Amino acid sequence: MQFLEQVLNGITLGSIYALIAIGYTMVYGVIGMINFAHGEVYMVGAFVGLIVMTILSSLGATLIPVYLIAMFLAAILVTSVLGWSIERIAYRPLRGKHRLIPLISAIGMSFFLQNFMQLSQGPRPFAVKQLITGSFVFSDTFSISYMQLLIPATTLVFMIVFTYFISKTKLGIACRATEQDRRMANLLGINTDSIISVIFVVGAALAAVAGVLVSLYYGTVRDTMGFVIGIKAFTAAVLGGIGSIPGAVLGGFVLGFSESFASAYIGGDYKDVVSFGLLMLILLVLPSGLLGKAEIQKV
Amino acid sequence: MLLRVIKALSSVLIITYTFLPTAFASSTIKIAIVGPITGPVAQYGKMQMDGAVMAVEQINLKGGVNGKKLEAVLLDDVCEPKQAVAVANKVVSNGISFVVGHLCSGSTQPASDIYEEEGVLMITPASTNPDITQRDFELVFRTIGLDTQQGSVAGKYIVDNVKPKKVAVIHDKQQYGQGIAQAVKKYLESNNVNVVLFEGVSKGSNDFSALISKIKGLGVDFIYYGGYHPELGLILRQAKEKGLKSQFMGPEGVGNKDISAIAGKASEGLLVTLPADFTTDPANANLVAAFKNKKQDSSGPFVMPSYSAVQVIADTIAKTKSEDPFEIAKAMRSSNYNTPIGKVAFKQNGDLKEFKFVVYTWHADGTKTEATIK
């Protein structure tokens, strides 16, 4: 029975990693750069969700769906603007420079956002009210909380919307074209600069969804929450093959499962050792990740 | 030529900067108050700063020490060992001879190495790890009890009153949390209580679902957590969501109103060992009122120990008419003090001769009551 619960824990954790990992992998796919400020975008999304929740509860709202919709919408809106601005301020002026330069700029952006939140909101964890309580209890050792169901369900909804966007809409097709060959896409009349902006916005929106979900699930929000999860999601993106969107999702779930099972059957102290050991092992056998394409250099 | 001028100028600058602070140090007696002003456990830092600053202000109101005013220099170590070392070096280079701090045991230990070596007297009002005073240091003291004392108070309560069948002991892998968890585990095992799980969690992580599922699977009915409130708050909340009904207990590091903010109803009934409540001591009535006037809460576990640490330093300087840390340390070992935490006397290794811990039951609204003893 513990096994079933650990499977569920893995799915929950994996959903979160997957949502964030998509942002990393898309940006890398298009401009070949790791957006280290992505974890901070997630953190900002969580804070916006908390602020909206506080406002709503002071207005006396009681309907849970109202809360959820308002929190998701506000978080997505704010982080979309944030994602767009980050790209405009920190990365676009550096396009075409050596690839290490935007990397440093990204790290700087990450510090800026974290310290901004620390100074404006205070350097301590903030408690988030429990919105959704209760669980299905099957036995003493097996129960599923509603929140644990909500996370994969919400992730699934946003994944479907996202997949539709990337595979069916004109904008999505332009995104993929830009990813495959930026210069060629440009020649064919696609404004690649605005497509890159779109990619930052979409990535930020998904991270905001993850931020709101996590704040509801774990019940705290703090300025430093983006760092560790950013590293983990980045790991998931690399594990799945950086640049590949299905790979990022798969990588997220592999990491989520390995953490849950390592914690359950090997010991919590070794959770990170096992999951990162697994990462190294997979990359030794498959250097371009689970679903990544090997880059062929033609000379 | 130019290079030589630059070199000469910069060496002059370096020399001025090194001697500047000491040149002014004689007009006041500086006491560095070092703890987490920012970071995840900044609330505890605030208790420490409030207590120490209050002591400095009150002593200065009475005319200071030997005609000199005390000056509190507040420094932030974020409760990170690396930062603590940097701050300790800053204290030394600014020519400050007295430190009240640090707060977290993990910070205090590396910082105390520097203070001992550089001749700075340090009193920690909060670090409870036994190792800190086990190194024959001359200048390191504390005005708080030890994990081993707190661990055995907790262990005794568990054995006598809770009588659990299966116990899990969890900690945050930090010096403070792991130290106290080990003390509790040792006490329980020597009293034939079955400890089925001893495991660490990562500080700052927020997913404990796998751990909780595992505890449920093991059928544990009592959980002791060594660490601070941000992690335990999340564990309590997630445990309640997952339908784990076992009793939890923690050290004074979790006894903070924020644990109720994080865990909500799940914090009801949590057992916490805390230093005895000094605010109810009639001798402290005036002091408690003074804190109230400044809109500060004097009931936090580190407020009065910090106040007392400053007072001990000031009293000893007044008595010995010396500002030499080594002479002060020598005098401290042979003196008795009347402080807000009661009668204070130090052992040879710098620990208090006496310090009392009490078991409390925590409530969901952030209040506490003394736990019932059967």
**How do residues A82-117 score in pLDDT, each as one tens digit?**
999 999 999 999 988 888 898 899 999 999 999 999
Does residue A57 belong to the interface with chain B, where contact is any CB pair within 8 Å? no
Please give the pLDDT value at position B25.
Answer: 46
Residues 6+ away with beta carbon under 8 Å from B211: A263, A268, B170, B199, B201, B235
Please give the pLDDT value at position B10.
Answer: 62
Residues 6+ away with beta carbon under 8 Å from A117: A40, A43, A44, A47, A223
Please give the pLDDT value at position B3.
Answer: 62
Please give the pLDDT value at position B262.
Answer: 87
Of A145 and A50, the one with more pLDDT: A50
Please give the pLDDT value at position A244.
Answer: 86
DSSP state letters, B245-267: --EEEE-GGG-SHHHHHHHGGGG
Please give the pLDDT value at position B21.
Answer: 47
Q: What is the pLDDT of residues A115-173, one digit of tens each?
A: 999 889 877 788 888 888 777 888 777 778 888 889 999 999 988 999 899 889 999 99
- From the list B39, B204, B238, the residue facing A228 with the nearest CB is B204
Which tokens sit at A287?
């250097």
Write down the residue that tokens 């509801």 correspond to: A216
Q: What is the pLDDT of residues A232-288, one digit of tens each?
A: 999 999 999 888 888 999 999 999 999 888 888 887 778 888 878 888 888 898 888
Residue B132's CB is within 10 A of a number of other CB atoms, namely: 26
- From the list B204, B211, B258, the residue facing A268 with the nearest CB is B211
Average pLDDT over residues B30-41: 90
B234 and A5 within 8 Å at the Cβ level: the answer is: no
Residue of A nearest to B241 (CA): A145
**At residue B7, does pLDDT exceed 70?**
no
Please give the pLDDT value at position A200.
Answer: 94
Residue of B nearest to A5 (CA): B213
Handedness of CA B153, B159, B161, B162 (dihedral sign): positive
Average pLDDT over residues A62-91: 93
All residues of chain A having their beta carbon less than 8 Å from the beta carbon of residue B264 are 127, 129-130, 219
B214 and A123 within 8 Å at the Cβ level: the answer is: no
**At residue B12, does pLDDT exceed 60?**
no
All residues of chain B having their beta carbon less than 8 Å from the beta carbon of residue A267 are 199
Confidence of residue B284 (pLDDT cuts 50, 70, 90): very high
A9 and B43 within 8 Å at the Cβ level: the answer is: no
Confidence of residue B9 (pLDDT cuts 50, 70, 90): low
**At residue B27, does pLDDT exceed 90?**
no
CB B242 within 8 A of CB A145: yes
Confidence of residue B215 (pLDDT cuts 50, 70, 90): very high
Burial class (CB in 10 A: 0-12, 13-18, 19+), A146: middle
Does residue A4 belong to the interface with chain B, where contact is any CB pair within 8 Å? no
* B142 beta partners: B124
Does residue A53 belong to the interface with chain B, where contact is any CB pair within 8 Å? no
**At residue B6, does pLDDT exceed 80?**
no
**At residue B362, does pLDDT exceed 70?**
yes
Give the CA dihedral B355, B360, B362, B367, nearest 10 degrees. -70
DSSP state letters, B201-213: --TT----HHHHH
Please give the pLDDT value at position A296.
Answer: 64
A124 and B42 within 8 Å at the Cβ level: the answer is: yes
DSSP character for B72? E
Residue of B nearest to A132 (CA): B241
A9 and B213 within 8 Å at the Cβ level: the answer is: yes
Distance (Å) from the alpha carbon of A265 to chain B's nearest alpha carbon:
8
Of B275 and B54, the one with more pLDDT: B54
All residues of chain B having their beta carbon less than 8 Å from the beta carbon of residue A123 are 38-40, 42
State the ipTM, two decimals. Answer: 0.76
Q: What is the pLDDT of residues B37-81, one digit of tens each?
A: 988 788 899 999 999 999 999 999 999 999 899 999 999 999 999
Please give the pLDDT value at position B15.
Answer: 53
Distance (Å) from the alpha carbon of B221 to chain A's nearest alpha carbon:
12
DSSP state letters, A13-28: HHHHHHHHHHHHHHHH
Of A186 and A1, the one with more pLDDT: A186
All residues of chain A having their beta carbon less than 8 Å from the beta carbon of residue B262 are 125, 127, 219-220
d(CA B255, CA B264): 14
Please give the pLDDT value at position A298.
Answer: 60
Alpha helix segments (H runs only) across B158-279: 175-190, 209-218, 229-241, 257-263
Does residue A166 belong to the interface with chain B, where contact is any CB pair within 8 Å? no
d(CA B226, CA A120): 31
All residues of chain A having their beta carbon less than 8 Å from the beta carbon of residue B42 are 123-124
d(CA B287, CA A32): 62
Q: Mutate which of A114, A119, A142, A218 to disrupt the B interface (most B C-beta within 10 Å)?
A: A218
SS3 call for B118 = helix
**At residue B203, does pLDDT exceed 50?**
yes
**How many Cβ contacts (< 8 angstroms) between chains A and B?**
107
Please give the pLDDT value at position A218.
Answer: 85
How high does pLDDT run on average in chain B? 89
A218 and B206 within 8 Å at the Cβ level: the answer is: yes
DSSP state letters, A181-213: -HHHHHHTT--HHHHHHHHHHHHHHHHHHHHHH
Does residue A231 belong to the interface with chain B, where contact is any CB pair within 8 Å? no
All residues of chain B having their beta carbon less than 8 Å from the beta carbon of residue A261 are 210
Pairing of strands B140-142, B121-124: parallel
Helices (H) and strands (E) in chain A, counts: 11, 4
Minimum mean pLDDT among B25-29, B114-118, B172-176: which range? B25-29
Does residue A9 belong to the interface with chain B, where contact is any CB pair within 8 Å? yes
CB A33 within 8 A of CB A288: no
Please give the pLDDT value at position B23.
Answer: 44
Please give the pLDDT value at position B148.
Answer: 85
